[in-house]
Amino acid sequence: EASTGRRRLLSRVQGTSDNSNSPFDFWSCGWTNLSIQYNVKYPMKAFFSENSKQRYNDIFHLLIILRYVQNELNSLWLTLKTQHQNSLIWHLRNAMSFFI
């Protein structure tokens, strides 16, 4: 599934058409359902309320998404590395990678 997403992204960068009818959808593949569940025992229970545990889950979820984006950018870079592309594309890739 990830290779389909890279192929579609690469075809957009190159301006070619993609024959795949089923794009990779990060939101429906199960990664969004991943969470951390843990029981906190006394005395730490005083510091970790349900609200704080939910915030940690939200941070964990954001980090999973950022890791996915980083992997996709690195994978695209490996694909484009062998091709001579427009410097604007390389600048965009570097800026996005720096942001992530």
Residues 6 or more apart in contact with residue 83 via CB below 8 angstroms: none
Helix 87-99 and helix 50-81, axial crossing angle in degrees, nearest 10: 160
Question: What is the reported pLDDT for 12?
Answer: 55
Predicted local distance difference test score (pLDDT) of residue 59: 92
Specify the residue for token string 């058409």.
17
- Spans in the chain with pLDDT lower than 50: 1, 17-18, 21
In the prediction, which pLDDT does 72 show?
Answer: 82
Is there a contact between 72 and 5 (Cβ–Cβ < 8 Å)? Answer: yes
In a 13 Å sphere around the CA of 42, the CA atoms on its Cβ side amount to 0
Rg of the Cα atoms in the chain: 19
